[in-house]
């Protein structure tokens, strides 16, 4: 199942360090801004917020694709495709 997640990304630019990437990320429609000090922390934050650990999308977010198992986990067809790709070395 695909889920569209919406965030507001605020980048804070310091004129003394214009190359530094820092700021905060706020999940929408409601969520608390979560700061990040660098690129690695931003990527880790995105992975954590978009992880499949959440069983259903937050209110106001949209599911796309296979709806046969909307409360988490993969459908049998999706699991079979993933296993075939793994055997062929794609994952």
The pLDDT-based confidence of 7 (bands split at 50, 70, 90) is very high
Q: What is the pLDDT of residue 78?
A: 67
* Domain count for the chain: 1
Task: Residue 57: give the domain boundaries.
Answer: 2-87
Alpha helices in the chain (DSSP H): 39-49, 76-87
Q: From residue 25, how far is each of 13, 15, 55, 64, 89 by CA, in Å?
A: 15, 21, 21, 23, 34
Is the whole-model pTM more than 0.75? no
6 φ, ψ (degrees, to nearest 5): -115, 135
What own/partner pairs with CB < 8 Å and gap ≥ 24 does 66-69 have?
Answer: 66/1, 67/1, 69/1
Neighbours of 1 (CB within 10 A): 19
pLDDT digits (tens, 9 = 90+) for 61-80: 555 554 444 444 555 666 66
């Amino acid at each position: 199942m695909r889920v569209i997640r919406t965030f507001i990304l605020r980048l804070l630019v310091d004129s003394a360090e214009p190359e530094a990437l820092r700021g905060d990320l706020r999940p929408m429609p409601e969520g608390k801004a979560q700061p990040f000090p660098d690129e690695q922390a931003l990527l880790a934050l995105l992975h954590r917020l978009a992880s499949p650990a959440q069983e259903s999308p937050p209110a106001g977010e949209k599911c796309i694709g296979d709806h046969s198992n909307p409360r988490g986990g993969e459908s049998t067809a999706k699991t079979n495709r993933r296993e075939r790709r793994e055997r062929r070395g794609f994952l």
